[in-house]
Copies of this chain bind each other. A is one copy, B any other.
Amino acid sequence: MKQLVGRPGSGSGLVLRLGQASCAAASIGLMVSASGFATFTAFCYLIASMGLQVLWSFGLACLDIYGLRRKRDLQNPILVSLFVVGDWVTATLSLAAASSSAGIVILYARDMDFCSPQFHLPCGKFQISVALAFLTWALIALSSHVMFWILLTSA
């Protein structure tokens, strides 16, 4: 097995998972604190998707801590295949959620100019929340590629 940065059961892997979970949690927090988010289906889907991402990444972070403390090798092919599939599914859901929310944010801020002060919409919070969702997706895509690479080189 390759000793790649971000591999399961390593310090860098743990940092990557905690980064994903904290970005997703921050995205949820900002979106929930923005008034009127519940009228947008896409923003509710963003919260659901980021919630799933927090659960998945936090679960794997706990597994990384277990691997680090007990010095267990978590890189067996069945476990890595499971990580690849899980990362791929959550990455797809995160990208879809971030993109659909970004579509609405761009519609409001750029196409319709609804973000001007007279409309009193919390556009800043929406924008940062969506940016964090894209950052979460980038981190999970990175994890997904590391897992894919481990699977490829161990096949």
Q: Which residues of A contact B (CB under 8 A)?
A: 39-42, 92, 95-97, 99-104, 106-107, 110-111, 148, 151-153, 155
Closest 7 CB pairs of A and B: A100-B103, A99-B99, A103-B103, A42-B103, A96-B99, A99-B100, A155-B155
Partner of A95, one of B39, B99, B110: B99
Known: A96-B99, A97-B99, A151-B152. 6 other contacts (CB 8 A): A39-B111, A40-B107, A41-B106, A41-B110, A92-B95, A100-B106
What is the chain B residue whose CB lies nearest that of A42?
B103
13 CB contacts below 8 A, A to B, read A40-B111, A99-B99, A99-B103, A100-B100, A100-B102, A100-B103, A100-B106, A103-B103, A103-B104, A107-B107, A151-B152, A152-B155, A155-B155
Q: Is A42 a contact partner of B106 (Cβ separation < 8 A)?
A: yes
